[in-house]
Amino acid sequence: MARPVIERRLTEVGERLQRLRSDLAVAEEQLAHLSADATDARVRALVSETAQSGGEHRNAERHARAMERHRDDVVADIARLEATQDDLLDRMGSGD
């Protein structure tokens, strides 16, 4: 792969990594909030023992799990892009 192509791809990967890291920070903040809401809903469900509070708890848990999966997906995307970046840097260093 030609050096200009590698440099362009490195720039693209770097920009994408920056966006994903920003997304990760937002996802972690949202996850913390949703997890706290789920914990509060669980306590309310235990105290009140009503069907409505149980449903609210399940709904809050579902939202927290969905955000956790999203965060995990972003972390996996970051890891893949970092591996791609490392490969491109190796190619650039070896002169390929």
Q: What's the confidence (pLDDT) of residue 96?
A: 59
Q: What is the mean pLDDT of residues 45-71?
A: 90
Radius of gyration of the chain from its Cα atoms, rounded to whole angstroms = 21
Q: What is the mean pLDDT of residues 73-92?
A: 97
Q: What is the mean pLDDT of the chain?
A: 93
Q: Is the pLDDT of residue 57 over 90?
A: no
pTM summary value: 0.84
Please report which confidence band the pLDDT of residue 94 belongs to, taking 50, 70 and 90 as the band edges. confident
- The three-class DSSP label of residue 85 is helix
Q: What's the confidence (pLDDT) of residue 26?
A: 98
